Structure formats: structure tokens, C-alpha cells
Structure 1
Amino acid sequence: MLNRQDDGMPFLLQYENVAWYEDGEVRILDRRVFPTEKRHVVCKDYHEVIKAIQDMVTQSAGPFTAVGMGMALAAYQCKDMPEKKQIEFLKTASEELGNARPTTANRYSQITTRAYELGKEAIESGKDPINRIFEDTIDSMNRRYSTMQKVGDYLVDMMPNNSGVLTQCYGETIIGAIIRAARRTDKDFKIFDAETRPFMQGARLTSSCFQEAGFDTTVVTDNMTNFILERGDIDFYTSAADSITMDGYIANKIGTKQIAILANRVGVPYFVTGIPDLDKKSKDAIKIEYRDPEQCLEFAGIRTSMKGVKSIYPAFDITSPELIGAIVTDKGAFSPYSLNDYLKKGKVEEFY
């Protein structure tokens, strides 16, 4: 029986609902239609996993699991090839899955490169590479969930009971970690979720997790955040980060910075959660992904602007350290100006 760390997690964070390989298929819960529908996208080729990631079937930390399961699928696809061809096939899959999206390619590639090495070793020793890669992906999920639980524990410890908390986008694992930490410490929060256009992750995903867990949950449209901040509803603003550079800059879903500016203006602290990217020494290492601007011109499949109207869609923005109160990690909370202190807190654990 597999060891799992998803006990007490919301529906969205149960392992089978993130991404799951079985019998030559990867099933990924379609977060684009949740919670209106609970359906899975079924991938029978690892290229379909890449497309699912690029099409936002899964996002936040979900692709970390999807690329690992995609590597198990790639091993299945090439299982009848000669040994050398199997290894070449896995190598190509590792590179392509690892670069499914540019801003987080360094994190994806850690997972796919390890899966390739394990698969190659299994093939060369006459063992099953599919199961070895699958088990490694589960191990990776377990590490992420247990590591992010430490982050969630530190964050919840910093927040007084009955605080008003504003979120941005969908922080995936950290949301479940906050819920488990709050239950363990008997804390309650009033949660305000910015809707996060154009994919509405805050309105659909974050709010669903907190509501399922029994928190007082309110969705606010993206242009209401200043109103609730000035009205005094919010004690803390928090978000995860797709990238945390060692000079204290963070990249997260577009709109994160403007909320940080507004929070800073009224004295509401902004706490970022995540693990620093040790390989990204400065903000110059962040590559902003630009997505199809047509996605900003429609809602639920219905076009909202006249034909011929243009848009832009940068997927992320970069928030500078002066707007960040603390970066909360698995080793405690740090000033964004002193992230090198993170390295002084003992061995850096493998996270992905």
C-alpha cells in the first residue's frame, strides 16, 4: 500500500484528482470547469499531458505531479522498443515535459530529469521503468505535501485567530496545508479570495477548498480588492509563488503585484509562501510566460468583447521585496532581503 500525505486534504488535492497514471493513461482533473463539473482529461500520449498543462487543465503545483505521471506514461509508450530506443524516448520526453511552461521549467525539469535517470537505470537492469517512475512521482508528492505542511504551520502560527485573510489565485498544496494547520490549532479565519481573471482560479478553486473545509469564504472580483482593504476586512494578504529568487523577488499569477501595492498602502502585510529557487539568483532569471490573449476576451466560452478588440495576457507578474512582509518557508519566515539566511538553517531538503 502506497504511503500518502493527502489525508485531510480537500477534494482538489487528493492525489487521484491532481494527476494519476494507471494502465497506459494519465487522468488529470480538469480545473478549468471545477466546481461546476468534476471531470477528468485522459491522456494516452505524454504530448497530451504537455498540452493539458499548457491549456491550464492543471496549474499551480499540479503540473509537478502531471509531468512525473507523464514520464510514467512515456515509459509505457516505449516499453516495446529496443532498450536504446526506450532510453532515447524517455530522454526526449523528459526534456519536453520539463519545458511544458517556461516560468517554472526549472522545477518541472528537476522532476522529469530524475524520472529519466530512474527509468534509464530500470531499463538497463531489466526492471519495470513505469512502476519505478510512478513510485518516484508519489514520493515527490509526499515530499511536497509534507514540506508545504511545514510552511502552512509557520504561516498559520503567524496569524491570530479570526483574522481576515486575502488570497490570490490558487496556491494548491499550501491551501490544504493551511486548512490542516488551522484544524490542528483550532484557529478560524475569514477568507477573501480574489477571483483571479481570466481563469478564475481564486473564485473556482481556492474558494472551493476553503468552503469545503468549513471556513467563512467570500469571493471578491479583482477590482474590489482595494475596497475591502480600505474597509478593514483584511488583516493579512497571502499568496504562493511560482518562483522565488534569492534576491527577494517573486513571480506569481498576474495581478499579485497590484494587490501587494494596495495592501502595502494601507498597512496590510503580504506573506508569500514557498521554497526559494536556489538556482535563480536574481529577478533576471524569471521568464514571464505570455499566453493566448484571446483567453482574456471571453468568459465561460462566451466572447465578452467585440470582434477585432485586442488584449494581452502575461501569465505572471514580478513583485519586488519592498512590498513583501515575509517569505514563509519550510524553515520559517524570512525577510525577502535576507533569503541567504535560508541556507544557514540546515540541509536544504529535496522538494520536488
Structure 2
Amino acid sequence: MSFHDKFDDLKLLKPVIFTGKEVLLLDQTKLPETEKYLKLKNCGEVAKAIKTMKVRGGGAIMLAAVYGLALSAINSKGNLKILKKDAEILKNTRPTAAALFQAIDFILRIAEKSSNVAEDVQQAANWLFKKTVEMEIKVGENGSKLFEDGDTVLTHCNAGALAAAGYGGVTLSVFRKCREKGKKIKVFVTETRPYLQGARLTLWELKKFGFDAVLITDNAVGYCMQKGMIDKVLVGADRIAANGDVANKVGTYLIALAAKKHKIPFYVSGTIDPKTKTGDEIKIEIRSPEEVLIFNGKRIAPKNIKVFYPAFDITPHEYVTAIITKDGVFKPPYNFGG
């Protein structure tokens, strides 16, 4: 039995698997049409897969990166200089993802004290995987207390199983725990342009687990709220600052504004980054114009035009009704600075 097989009773979707020789990544750019695993043999291949969105979501990116470092340690026979170089390459793939930086620094601290770098880095990566699964379950348990039987919940992008270790991330885990408690939840999902993470990934997950789900266009959020079709909002976060400001997929801020207008609770699930004092300190990743200009292999806009595509935005803490973490549910005023 492999390390990852030990979690089969939890019905993980397994976006990231480490075999000891390869990192297997479920190629999220191919979903929902094709369920295909990429077989990555070195850290450079893992970094490229992260950069090109083959794997995405804070937790899944983090796990892919630490297993990439495990490959680096194995392939280099524990060479710390090479490991640190590969760590910097991985950090530069997705600058907004807090968990990525924290986990890489953790792995490096383990390696620097180790007498068997390759073995200890692999064990540390497996420990992070186990802790991520435990975090997903705890977040689900805590978050489920905020929802009632019959609620219709709006979510944006994908912060579910594919974005973490596979149980349910920080959103689907809440819905799974609601179901365990006999609460029936209906989910409205934004398509999430331009990568369509909501349409392709979140709906794929929800269908896998048999949830009642409805796909809407990104610009239909206000209409659905205005018509009383949404009871609550639940989104994940790539980074939550100490003051409660939230970095998440671009469009989240607009949803929060609409929710505030219509007196709809706006909940955020994730992990706090106490070192980031406010959202102003969070670097927003600006991605390639081609991701906006090209859809399904075809250009959808005229040639020679300018494109601005921030992948994330910042939702100020005053729009956040509550923050759900593995340690509990927190309400304003937020002060996670310690």
C-alpha cells in the first residue's frame, strides 16, 4: 500500500500523488472532458505544470511544489544547493499563493538540519499532505455550522478538492460535512473566466459527489442575488491577511460588493497568513494576455489590442461576514497578527 492509498476511505479526488519516483498531477486543464495524470520526473517539470495551470488552487499548488522538492532531493542525492535553487524556481511560479511559500520554507528548514535530506524531505512532504487532509476536514466541520438545510450557496472559481489534497478543499469540504449532518445544500457556481475553473472544475467535483448545482455566468451574480436566488456566499482564498483582507480569484470583490448590497452573508474559507498585515501587501499576479484573447484555441478579440488580466483581487475585510479556518469560525473585527 502506498502512502496515498491510506486515505482511500475518505474518497479523495487525488489531484496530486507522489510515487517516490514521480509526481502525478491530474491535469486540470483537460477537465472535465479528460481525466489524465501527468507524470513528472523532476522539479523543473513540476514548476512548469504549476505555472501553466495544470495544477492550481493554493493547497494543490503547495503539495505539488513540496513533492517537486522531494524529487529534487532524490535526483540530486540531497544536494542542498540544488534544492534551494529549485525552491526559488517554485516560489516564482505563483506569487500570490501564501501556502506555497510557507511550505517551501518549511521543507528547506527540514533539509538544512537533516543528515538524510532525500528521505527527510519526502517524509516532510507526506506530513504536509496528511495535515492538508486534516485541515480540509476541520474546515468542513467548522464551516458547516454556518449553513442551514435548504440553503442555496454561491461559490466562485474552485477552492474544492482539486485545489487541495482531494477531500474537499475549503469549500466542497463544507458541503460534504453539511450533507453528513443531513443539511441539503444547493450550489450556484460562477463560470470563472477566463480559465473557467467554476464551470470545468467545481461543477466536475460537485457532480462527482452528487450535489445539486447550477452554473451561471460571472456577470449574472447580481441578478441572482437581486431575485432572491442566493442565501449565502462561500469562497476560498489564496491568501488571508492578518486584518481579514482576502486575496482570491479576480471577481471575488465584485461578488462581495453585491452580497453587501443585498444583505447576503459573505463567508471566506482558508488559512490565515499572519505575516501579511493587510491586502495592500499582497502581490497580485498579472497573467498573459493570451489567456484572455484565446478561447478553445480561437482568438475572440481583434488583433493589436491591449489586455489587462489580474488573476486575483483583494476583498477588504469589511465585506467579509466570517472567516472559516481549521481552528474555528472568526467574525469581525479581525486581528490575526498575534
- After TM superposition, is the score higher than 0.5? yes
| Residue 40 of structure 1, CA deviation | 2.1
- 1:111 is the counterpart of 2:99: no
CA offset at residue 6 of structure 1? 6.2
Deviating beyond 6 angstroms after TM superposition, the runs of 4 or more aligned structure 1 residues are none
Residues 277-336 of structure 1 show CA distances to partners (whole Å, capped at 9, x for unaligned) of 111112222111100011011212222112223321101000012211111122222224
Partner SS for 1:339: coil
For 1:116 and 1:331, locate their aligned partners in 2 and report how far apart those are by CA, in whole Å: 26
Match of 1:91 among 79, 84, 88: 84
Alignment of 1:1-352 (within 5 A): 2=3, 4-5=6-7, 7-9=9-11, 11=13, 14=14, 18-22=15-19, 24-60=21-57, 61-79=59-77, 86-104=79-97, 106-122=98-114, 125=115, 127=116, 129-172=117-160, 173-340=169-336
Contact map agreement 2:171 2:269 (CA 8 A) in 1: no
1:213, CA displacement in angstroms?
A: 1.1
Distance 1:176 1:167, change over 3 A: closer
Mark the CA change 1:10 to 1:194 in structure 2 (over 3 Å): closer, same or farther.
farther
Do the aligned residues in 1 keep the contact of 2:189 with 2:213 (CA within 8 Å)? yes
Mapped contact 1:49–1:67 kept (Cα < 8 A): yes
TM-score where L is the length of structure 2: 0.90
CA RMSD of aligned residues (A): 2.0
Q: Distance in 1 between matches of 2:332 and 2:38?
A: 38
Give how far 1:207 is off: 1.2
- 3-state SS of 1:115 partner: helix
CA offset digits 1:167-193 (Å, max 9, x no partner): 011113123422431232121111100
AA matched with 1:50: A
Alignment check: 8 A CA contact 1:95 1:109 kept? no
Aligned length in residues: 327
Q: Structure 1 residues 308 and 7 mapped into 2: Cα distance closer, same or farther (>3 Å)?
A: farther
Sequence identity percentage:
33
Amino acid at match of 1:70: G
Q: Which runs of 5+ in 1 are unaligned?
A: 344-352
- Closer/same/farther in 2, CA of residues 331 and 26 from structure 1, 3 Å limit: closer
Q: Which amino acid aligns with 2:64?
A: A
Report the Cα offset of residue 244 of structure 1: 0.6
Tell me, yes or no, if the aligned pair for 1:9 and 1:176 is still in contact at 8 Å.
Answer: no
Q: Deviations over 1:209-250 (max 9, x none)?
A: 112111111110111111111111110011011111111211
**In structure 1, how many angstroms separate the alpha carbons of the residues matched to 2:242 and 2:131?**
22
1:92-127 CA distance string (max 9 Å, x none)? 1222223321112x42132223323334444xx3x4
Q: 5+ unaligned residues in a row in structure 2: which ranges?
A: 161-168
